Amino acid sequence: MKFADIAGHQATVTSLRSIADSGKIPHAILLSGISGIGKMRLARAFAQYVHCSSRHGGDSCGVCPSCVQHQRLNNPDLHFVYPVIKRDGAVVSNDYIDQWREMMADWSYMPPQKWNDLLNAGNSQPAIYVNESEEVIAKASLSAFQENYKIFLIWLPEKMRPETANKLLKIIEEPFDDTVFILVSNDDSKLLPTIFSRTQRFNMRPLSEMEITTHLMRNHGVSPEMAAAAARIAEGSMGKAEELACHPEEILEFSSLFKEMMRMAYALKAPSLKTISEQCAAMGREKLLRFLNYSSRMVRENFIYNLRMPFISLLTPEEEEFSRRFAPFIHEGNVEALSDEISRAATDVERNGNAKIVMFDLMLLLSQWVRSPKPVPLPLQ
């Protein structure tokens, strides 16, 4: 991974490049921000740059032996640490190296759900166990094999068990001269404050819709309409956008289900609403949450459509046609209530509420709000 492969984050790239150029690399660097914005990609590009033997043009060369090893994920001075499942004697990152390589190759924006799938985690939560810190300490105490620095890339340090974090803290507090820890966190509020305060922190922002659209079109050959649609739903996360753009059938499914749900809610057809709630429940929790997120965006965007504010073109002409007829029913008297009800339903689904009941209740509430008349403006005094 080179800096040139990083979408967005130019300020962070510039800072990391000059840190490496200065030769004074801090012992612990924290890259934080929401999931799917490319923090791990940037951490990898930085590590490759630090180790590259013939940097030029502000980037790693991509062809020296060290760069080649980085690209193959087998540089002996680059160590990855990530949450795993304790199973059949497997408990540390290295036990899952094959799955990790697959993740890096296919999902470099690191959607945590994909990692759970690769681990066959089911309902268990992957964690970084205390055995891992022992491995890290053992590796850190050896001198670097071929490079100037040993680099430890820790993905999701917030998943460290407290005993793991406490052990690692010692080595982060008093590190060996040639050791660098890069922590890549989706939620740094969950880090041990003593670790947090030892790091040089880079807060990375969500990507813009333009950055996402451009990346999807250039790197995945996605059509401009699909790229724009995925960027709109992904809320700044390239990881989410790639998943959506590579599985367009889900967007199409959501869009037709949303239309059906709103039509039936307006018509207050209880049997149809019951069928739709069953269909939603059959999606499973994660997908249903994505559908609710999509629905909430659609409500907001249709409200904006009404205001004739700049509006990114919808997926298809049929979508546009639907919005032309549907948008007038979303107004200042119900837009907040509709969004709130959808968010509340998402929270209930997240907390393992019965999806069929949650969705049926939601649709009755949507029905009530979507049928509420648009408030008449008060005459000026």
Residue 99 in tokens:
């799955």
**In the complex with Zn ion, which residue's Cβ is closer, 61 or 257?**
61
Does residue 5 touch Zn ion according to CB under 5 A? Answer: no
Which of 12, 60, 93, 186 lies at the binding interface for Zn ion (CB under 5 A)? 60
Measured CA angle at 99 (ends 98, 102), to 5 deg: 90
Minimal distance, residue 67 CB to Zn ion, in Å: 3
Residues numbered 187-246 forming contacts with Zn ion, rule: CB under 5 A: none
Minimal distance, residue 143 CB to Zn ion, in Å: 21
Does residue 58 touch Zn ion according to CB under 5 A? Answer: no
Residues numbered 34-53 forming contacts with Zn ion, rule: CB under 5 A: 52
Residue 46 in tokens:
């930085």
**In the complex with Zn ion, which residue's Cβ is closer, 53 or 223?**
53
Q: Which of 303, 312, 290 shows the shortest CA–CA distance to 336?
A: 303
Minimal distance, residue 63 CB to Zn ion, in Å: 6
Minimal distance, residue 153 CB to Zn ion, in Å: 18
Q: Which of 99, 101, 92, 188 shows the shortest CA–CA distance to 133?
A: 92
Minimal distance, residue 64 CB to Zn ion, in Å: 3
Minimal distance, residue 56 CB to Zn ion, in Å: 9
Long-range contacts of 371-380 (CB under 8 A, 24+ apart): 371/266, 371/268, 372/333, 372/334, 373/333, 374/328, 374/331, 374/332, 374/333, 375/331, 375/332, 375/333
Does residue 59 touch Zn ion according to CB under 5 A? Answer: no
Which of 13, 29, 67, 365 lies at the binding interface for Zn ion (CB under 5 A)? 67
Does residue 64 touch Zn ion according to CB under 5 A? Answer: yes
Cα separation, 32 vs 18, whole angstroms: 19
Q: Which of 244, 233, 235, 229 shows the shortest CA–CA distance to 320?
A: 229
Mark the segment that binds Zn ion (CB under 5 A) among 57-65, 138-146, 265-273, 350-358.
57-65
# chain residues binding Zn ion, by CB under 5 A: 5
Does residue 61 touch Zn ion according to CB under 5 A? Answer: yes
**In the complex with Zn ion, which residue's Cβ is closer, 1 or 342?**
1
Contacts of 149 (CB under 8 A, 6+ apart): 25, 50, 51, 77, 178, 179, 180
Q: Which of 59, 75, 53 shows the shortest CA–CA distance to 5?
A: 59
Which residues face 90 on adjacent strands? 87
Where on the chain is the footprint of Zn ion (CB under 5 A)? 52, 60-61, 64, 67
